[in-house]
Amino acid sequence: MSKTQADRDGLITFRAGGTLLCLTAQVSERVQLLYAGPDLPSASAADFERLSTREHAPGGPQNPIANSLLNAIGTGYPSPPGLLAHRTGQDWVGDPCLVEAKQSETSLTLMTHDAACNISAEHTFDIDPGSGVLRCACRITNQADSPLALEWCAALCVPINPSLTNITSFAGKWAGEFQTEQTTLVRGSFVQENRSGRTGHASYPGLYLGESNTTENSGQAVARHLGWSGNTRLRVDHLATGELSAQAGELLLPGEMTLQRGESYATPPLYLTWSDQGYGPLTRSLHRYVRGQLCPVAPRPVHYNSWEAVYFDHSPARLMELANRAAEVGAERFVLDDGWFGARRNDTAGLGDWTVCDNVYPDGLEFLSEHLQSLGLEFGLWFEPEMVNPDSDLYRAHPDWVLQAPGVEQIASRHQLPLDLTRDDVCEHLFERIVSLTKQLNIAYIKWDMNRDIQHPGGEAGHAVMHQQILALYGLIERIKAAVPGLVVESCASGGARADYGILTHTDRVWTSDNNDARAHHAIMRGTAHFLPLDVLGNHVGPQKCHITRRQFDMEFRAGAAIFGHMGMEMDLTQESAQDRAILSDAIALHKRHRTLIHTGDYHRLSTHKHICGIGVVASDRRDAVFQLAVLDPHPTMHPPRINFAGLDPDQRYEIQSIWPQALDKSFGTFAGSALMQYGLQLPITNPDTYLIYHLKAAT
Ligand code: GLA
């Protein structure tokens, strides 16, 4: 890394992977973020410095105040400050100024210091050349002798193109994750806070912003995501000045972050990507980033998960039978879910006692490990390491190991309490239990669950330790992975309540939702895929009658839903008819045939009529593609509509084949990519609750 151009002209132009950042960088001056967005050919910071000049506005400050990295109170910038700190009521008005800037081809570090408060702030910016995604974070250090109470620190205050007032956010609930919501920002603030102690169901720390007429493939847009699995705040402020300013950071609890001299606090990373061709490129850039930087693409074995087949009613004979059936239909990994340990015969007892239940499994689980090996299946095992039932040996031995706030009653939630991972003895115990079982049973995969919110994260000394708890969680997973080379870890939290880039830096897959109703799951997958690629999204075929919604669907529909994702199944296979098992087996074979494409290709949301939802995955060379169309309601017209494909090469001819459901399997011949995208393919007359899958292959 070298010192930058800033030394010479006080300006920084930083471009990589199609992203451009322009800043002022005059030593001893405040750093202004002049431009952050899609790269603009030949534009440089000098252009934006002059273009951003504004005259004095009546009623406003003599010299209009520009957006800086943290918009600290001392700057007077009219948005909520990005930094809130004080020393028992003093040193609250800061204004950090540049000390030094260092830049390499893909990263930039800005060291700033606030002389009035004696705080330093170091901002790092990395642009991933493969995706153009910008990752930035800030580290605050207390340089004074007296403690600094830090209340809020945004990773960065980002100026947003003021025409991007259309917000797409993702909110949900258990079994109804990632519901996509649209809001138009008026003057004022859009704020999303999460205080659930995990990423949470209710408000995902990620947003898309677009213009009023931004579509999938036209218009300006930006996506932001905070990579953090604890409490978060995301805000967008539409200011009286006409500017839009956005912040994201960790929501700190009172007194949680008190820095002694020399101590630092690092914000979670904020991820940003911009597009001038609509929302679609945002999704594809984020997918490239996740695949390239967080969860490298690896073959994703088809899962069988035991949860909905047996719940807590385990027996060796049942598991052997289910494993046989799973192998027959094409599963490649068998995940034994909750209920195998301690006194865990229901969800009120045993959680935390990570020893195989000797009543149910008197000879241990080795028999299953060996049986799975003989069937060619990997063994995956469920853990919920961060939790304990009060009715457990662990809690009886160590009642002080749980998080608790003094003088406040514990909140009941699924009969379990969160363990205090900031204690070394707790992590040591969990590490030993998980690693020894994993080695002993030849476990290749852990489903790491976390099934309750944490409202009162008080540590041993009574202080809030939510931040440390999340870092300890990340550290524990890393330690376990290092001790068991090749171990793959899934992040689950009552379904999809922990699916952020923070946890995905340490895990490999997320469980999207406990709701495997094939109709509901389509919307959940579509919402989640705004940030995560299909290869990391667990997508399972459920039982005929969905256990969550009680709706019934035939096997073609259930299986057609799960083909687009990291496919698995989660039902009692002994209750499925031979005919349905044959259909399931065909669906799994189809998934395997197209798995590499589905797990590596570019994702496209199709524009369709309201009763249909469509997505497609197109290979990077655009010679191979698969599309999935969910027909959810009856066609309102006599003839169904035509479907316009997306992402194809307009100059290429494609051979197109309908490959699901099997009854509709047929070839349509070859067509120009341009015609398939602009004119579209006539859909067949089908019932609602049909997944249609098409395969397109370049003809020449
Ligand atoms: C959570 C998970 C489920 C299952 C149960 C087990 O709800 O989301 O998939 O593992 O816990 O208790």
Would you give the distance in Å from CA 5 to the centre of its chain?
Answer: 36
**In b/e form, how buried is each residue of 585-616, taking b as 16+ CB within 10 angstroms?**
ebbbebbbebbebbbbbbbbbbebbeebbbbb
Measuring CA to CA, which residue among 167, 139, 303, 156 is closest to residue 223?
A: 167
Q: 28 — phi, psi (to 5°)?
A: 75, 5
Instruction: Tell me, using a 6 A CB cutoff, whether residue 337 lines ligand 1.
Output: yes
Mean pLDDT of the chain: 97
Rounded mean pLDDT, 196-223 = 98
Helix, strand counts (H, E) of the chain? 14, 39
Per-residue pLDDT tens digits for 626-637: 999 999 999 999
Return the pLDDT at 9.
83
Return the pLDDT at 2.
53
Per-residue pLDDT tens digits for 125-147: 999 999 999 999 999 999 999 99
Distance 309 CA to ligand 1 centre (A): 12
Instruction: Tell me, using a 6 A CB cutoff, whether residue 533 lines ligand 1.
Output: no
Q: Of all protein residues, whose CA lies closest to atom 1 belonging to ligand 1?
A: 494
- Parallel, antiparallel or unpaired: strands 176-184 and 166-173: antiparallel
Up-side HSE of residue 281: CA atoms within 13 Å toward CB? 22
Peptide bond into 661 cis (omega under 30): yes
Return the pLDDT at 26.
96
Per-residue pLDDT tens digits for 406-464: 999 999 999 999 999 999 999 999 999 999 999 999 999 999 999 999 999 999 999 99
Q: How confident is the model at residue 657 (pLDDT cuts 50, 70, 90)?
A: very high
Which residues, in sequence order, are bridge partners of residue 628? 615, 693
Measuring CA to CA, which residue among 437, 448, 350, 446 is closest to residue 394?
A: 350
Cα–Cα dist 275/646, whole Å:
17
Instruction: Tell me, using a 6 A CB cutoff, whether residue 122 lines ligand 1.
Output: no
Rg (CA), the chain: 27
Distance 357 CA to ligand 1 centre (A): 18
Residue owning tokens 């600290």: 72
Instruction: Tell me, using a 6 A CB cutoff, whether residue 353 lines ligand 1.
Output: no
Per-residue pLDDT tens digits for 468-511: 999 999 999 999 999 999 999 999 999 999 999 999 999 999 99
Rounded mean pLDDT, 84-103 = 97
The minimum-distance atom of ligand 1 relative to the CA of 493 is 8
Return the pLDDT at 297.
87
Return the pLDDT at 207.
98
Cα–Cα dist 490/483, whole Å:
17
Q: Of all protein residues, whose CA lies closest to atom 7 belonging to ligand 1?
A: 494
Max CA distance (Å), the chain: 82
Which residues, in sequence order, are bridge partners of residue 154? 249
Catalytically annotated residues: 449, 514
Instruction: Tell me, using a 6 A CB cutoff, whether residue 449 lines ligand 1.
Output: yes
Per-residue pLDDT tens digits for 379-406: 999 999 999 999 999 999 999 999 999 9
Measuring CA to CA, which residue among 208, 171, 175, 194 is closest to residue 496?
A: 175
Q: How confident is the model at residue 8 (pLDDT cuts 50, 70, 90)?
A: low
Residue 4 pLDDT greater than 80, yes or no = no
SS3 313: coil
Distance 503 CA to ligand 1 centre (A): 18
Q: Compute how many other C-beta atoms are within 10 angstroms of the C-beta atom of residue 51.
A: 10
- Parallel, antiparallel or unpaired: strands 566-569 and 221-226: unpaired
Return the pLDDT at 692.
98
Cα–Cα dist 631/611, whole Å:
6
Residue 7 pLDDT greater than 90, yes or no = no
Return the pLDDT at 198.
98
Return the pLDDT at 700.
83
Return the pLDDT at 3.
53
Distance 536 CA to ligand 1 centre (A): 18
Instruction: Tell me, using a 6 A CB cutoff, whether residue 340 lines ligand 1.
Output: no
Measuring CA to CA, which residue among 488, 484, 450 is closest to residue 469?
A: 450
Distance 54 CA to ligand 1 centre (A): 55
Q: Compute how many other C-beta atoms are within 10 angstroms of the C-beta atom of residue 330.
A: 18
Tokens representing residue 654 in the block = 């494609």
Would you give the distance in Å from CA 184 to the centre of its chain?
Answer: 24
Residue 6 pLDDT greater than 80, yes or no = no
**Could you give the angle at which helices 555-562 and 578-600 cross, rounded to 10 degrees?**
20
Ligand 1 binding pocket mutation candidate from 313, 386, 513, 514 (most atoms within 8 A of CB): 514
Phi-psi region of 560 (alpha: psi -120 to 50; beta: other; left: phi over 0): alpha
Which residues, in sequence order, are bridge partners of residue 493? 496
Phi-psi region of 440 (alpha: psi -120 to 50; beta: other; left: phi over 0): alpha
Measuring CA to CA, which residue among 120, 114, 133 is closest to residue 75?
A: 114
Rounded mean pLDDT, 357-373 = 98
Return the pLDDT at 223.
98
Rounded mean pLDDT, 536-548 = 98
| Amino acid, single-letter form, for residue 23 | L
Percent of the chain topping pLDDT 90: 97
Tokens representing residue 499 in the block = 């699916």
Residue 5 pLDDT greater than 60, yes or no = no
Cα–Cα dist 443/421, whole Å:
23
Residue 178 pLDDT greater than 80, yes or no = yes
Measuring CA to CA, which residue among 529, 511, 499 is closest to residue 615?
A: 529
Cα–Cα dist 344/337, whole Å:
12
Residue 571 pLDDT greater than 60, yes or no = yes
Rounded mean pLDDT, 669-676 = 98
DSSP track, 518-530: HHHHHHHHHHHTT
Measuring CA to CA, which residue among 663, 656, 662 is closest to residue 694?
A: 656
